[in-house]
Copies of this chain bind each other. A is one copy, B any other.
Amino acid sequence: MVLSDTLLDFFLETRNRTESICKPLEIEDYVVQPIVDVSPPKWHLGHTTWFFEEFILKPHAENYKIFDPDFSFVFNSYYETVGKRVIRTDRGNLSRPSVQRIYEYRHYVTDAVKTFFDKWGNQEINDLLEIGIHHEKQHQELLLTDIKYILGNNPLFPKYADFPVEHMIENRPGEWMAVEEGVYEIGHNSEVFCYDNELGRHKVYLQPYCISNKLVTNGEFMEFMEAGGYQRFDLWHSDGWDWVNQNNICAPLYWHKIDGQWHYYTFKGLQKIDLQTPLTHISYYEAFAYAQWKGCRLPTEFEWETAQPQFPWGKRWEWTESAYLPYPNYKKADGALGEYNGKFMVNQKVLRGGSIATPTKHTRPTYRNFFQPSLRWQFTGLRLAK
């Protein structure tokens, strides 16, 4: 548990950082939604604010005056308990409330939480605040990846900023780390904050396995491409093969062949591919096909969690072979907060690690990220096992 004063600092720091991420944007960049998986930055700003208003201020803060009653309709995401959700594809059509008005909303709610904070002494509200902070940190990561998508799909390929730095080379020899057969413990077991999907620490039995100490690089993936990997159906799942063909996939997301040479869009703009840098922006299907081609496989999330003290991680979210399922004895919370994780536990794959877009203190060895297997706009990557 975090002490209260620290918690308020943590809250304020988090609120500030979200706004810092938006600093380099033009007003117009806050508005668009090129695909359903991406939300407009203005929506992230509003939604993370709405969360504190809805779950802390409205039910607990006496005399709290709601900023604008329409906002709970506009900024709810998928919380069916709270009200009729806005259809996700519509977010990109909402020119109002304006960006300025949303910033007013943010500051109003931040101030209200701060004021209210002095008056409560309540663990329940502390817990709500902490989950709200972590919720906002999760959205900081989405904000960055959504901004990259918005600018990286603009024909002018505008630069965002010199940060975050996407290219961090793992500058050491590759090795296979061996793990012995046996019973291991999986799941969260410290005082640190975690989500409900990490709880229920429990035993699993692992067969002996090896896991690489390095992520797969752009150069290694380019060998797969040159070997015709995207044309060889035997390397792919049936669903993956359909995905490749229906979307004419022939390279990772953001890669463009210009005058015969591969480039990719980065936060700094278009650049030549760096061969040493860990590969990113691939789907699970591509990760799997690459592993097949190498005669290897992806680790399960349990193998990853067990082996992770032996290698550095945190540059890329790493696809695992594991489906996103509840741990034994998983219980989802009552009410709207119970919708946070449990209802997504089907048709998704687990990713482990964290990425250059992940806020500090926002990941840990037991953190379970999850996405549909075709998605690529996160800083996804790939580590082999065998």
Copies of the polypeptide in the assembly: 4
Q: Tell me which of B94, B150, B349 contacts A95 (CB under 8 A).
A: B150
Q: Tell me which of B96, B205, B236, B325 contacts A183 (CB under 8 A).
A: B205
- With contact pairs A81-B234, A202-B207, A343-B236 given, residues A154 and B95 touching in the complex (Cβ less than 8 Å): yes
Residues of B within 8 A of A158 (CB): 96
Interface residues of A in 164-220 (CB under 8 A from B): 183, 202-205, 207, 209
- Any chain B CB within 8 A of the CB of A347? yes
Nearest chain B CB to A374's CB is how many angstroms away? 10
Residues of B within 8 A of A34 (CB): 93
Residues of B within 8 A of A151 (CB): 95-96
Residues of B within 8 A of A80 (CB): 233-234, 241
CB of B328 within 8 A of CB of A325, answer no
- Any chain B CB within 8 A of the CB of A30? yes
- Any chain B CB within 8 A of the CB of A118? no
Residues of B within 8 A of A33 (CB): 93
- Any chain B CB within 8 A of the CB of A28? yes
Complexed CA–CA distance, A150 and B81 (Å): 29
Residues of B within 8 A of A70 (CB): 155-156
CB of B97 within 8 A of CB of A156, answer yes
CB of B92 within 8 A of CB of A92, answer yes
Complexed CA–CA distance, A238 and B372 (Å): 13
Interface residues of A in 281-300 (CB under 8 A from B): 284-285, 288, 297
CB of B26 within 8 A of CB of A28, answer no
A202's nearest neighbour on chain B, judged by CB, is: B207
Nearest chain B CB to A365's CB is how many angstroms away? 19
Nearest chain B CB to A71's CB is how many angstroms away? 9
A78's nearest neighbour on chain B, judged by CB, is: B238
A338's nearest neighbour on chain B, judged by CB, is: B234
B-contacting residues of A (Cβ < 8 Å)? 26-34, 42, 70, 73-74, 78, 80-81, 92-99, 150-151, 153-156, 158, 183, 202-205, 207, 209, 233-234, 236-241, 284-285, 288, 297, 321-323, 325-326, 328-329, 338-339, 343-347, 349, 373
Besides the known contacts A27-B99, A80-B233, A207-B329, 10 further A-B residue pairs in the complex with CB atoms under 8 A apart? A26-B95, A31-B32, A32-B32, A33-B93, A80-B234, A81-B234, A93-B150, A203-B207, A207-B328, A238-B343
Q: Could you show 21 A-B contacts with beta carbons less than 8 Å apart?
A: A27-B27, A28-B30, A28-B96, A31-B31, A32-B32, A32-B93, A32-B95, A80-B233, A81-B234, A95-B151, A96-B154, A96-B156, A97-B156, A183-B183, A202-B205, A203-B205, A237-B343, A237-B346, A238-B343, A238-B344, A241-B343
